[in-house]
Amino acid sequence: MATKDRNGKIKGKINNIVYRELGDKQVMQIAPARVKQTYATKLNALEFGLASAQAKVLRNVLRDIYEEADGKMAARLNAAVAACIRSSERDIGDRNLHDVRLDQLKGFEFNNHAPFEKLLVVKPSFGVLPNGKFEFSLPHFNLMKDIHYPRDGVRYDPSFLIAITAFHFREEYVRVIDKAVFDFKNINQGAAIDWSSSKLLPLGVVVVVTFSLRYLSTNWVGRQVQTTDKAFYPTVMLDAYHVTEEMADLAKKEGFARATSTIGKFSNNTNDILKNIARFKQKIADKQR
């Protein structure tokens, strides 16, 4: 619906013509015709909505770990989750992160302005055993020479964080399984990290392992503060994997300890989106009969 203002200019839409102001001029534009979406296009759009919902949970839950992200991180993570889901040969509506390979998440950098390979000379080695035990190793490195530090006149000490987080998108809960912090001094001295985690993992969850490096200094009142340079906030998803029945059973038999953290709840619409996909597919099937 179009209206005329006190200056006699028309604003709004008449038929397929849209009237609007551009600076001090009035312009007219032809509204695009309604695009008829195909069955496949609508189905893919619904599934991308599913991927976006599950990626949003990953971002929100891990926010305190990665702290800083580049401006395109959300879109990149949406695309990575969508790629994981599309890698399955199952039909749309029968697949989500619980049913697919998670390779596209492995190595995902939350902050492309702070890539790990440019800040840390050595590369970690890691892996998950059949019983769910996670092993991590950062080979020998020099704390002063093999880490790149901010050049703002402040002497920073490096701090590494490894975190193992379990997600269940269908039951809508998250749990921190284990984490470890390794603090060092910025001195001309060698160091290494060898760490393993043997915890009971909930059956059916998606496990994400993150690795972060932070730069800390002590201010004049003795309080630790971080650099404000966003180019020095690297966090990467080292690994992502499913907890199978075999993995959960082996961990129980070997007497692994339970995670001490409490279970957190979230709402991500995974179940509702899958129901919407099923209803849409059924509607199309009914029309074709």
- 289 lies in a domain? no
Q: How confident is the model at residue 287 (pLDDT cuts 50, 70, 90)?
A: confident
Q: How confident is the model at residue 35 (pLDDT cuts 50, 70, 90)?
A: very low
Number of domain units in the chain: 2
- Per residue in 54-98, pLDDT (tens digit) is 999 999 999 999 999 999 999 999 999 999 999 999 999 999 999
166 exposed, middle or buried (CB, 10 Å; 0-12, 13-18, 19+)?
Answer: buried
Residue 289: what pLDDT?
73
Same domain flag for 26 and 142: no
- Per residue in 37-49, pLDDT (tens digit) is 688 899 999 999 9
Question: Do the beta carbons of residue 213 and residue 154 sit within 8 Å?
Answer: no
Residue 221: what pLDDT?
80
213 exposed, middle or buried (CB, 10 Å; 0-12, 13-18, 19+)?
Answer: buried
Q: Which residues lie closer than 8 Å to 34 by C-beta, 6 or more apart? A: none
Same domain flag for 26 and 115: no
Same domain flag for 92 and 17: no
Residue 3: what pLDDT?
67
| 227 backbone dihedrals φ, ψ, rounded to 5° | -60, 150
Residue 140 belongs to domain spanning: 39-280
Same domain flag for 95 and 131: yes
Same domain flag for 5 and 93: no
User: Token pair of 242, please?
Assistant: 């499913």
pTM recorded for the entire structure: 0.85
Same domain flag for 28 and 102: no
- 286 lies in a domain? no
Question: Do the beta carbons of residue 247 and residue 202 sit within 8 Å?
Answer: no
The pairing of beta strand 157-168 with beta strand 173-183 = antiparallel
Same domain flag for 150 and 164: yes
What percentage of the chain reaches a pLDDT higher than 70? 87
229 exposed, middle or buried (CB, 10 Å; 0-12, 13-18, 19+)?
Answer: middle
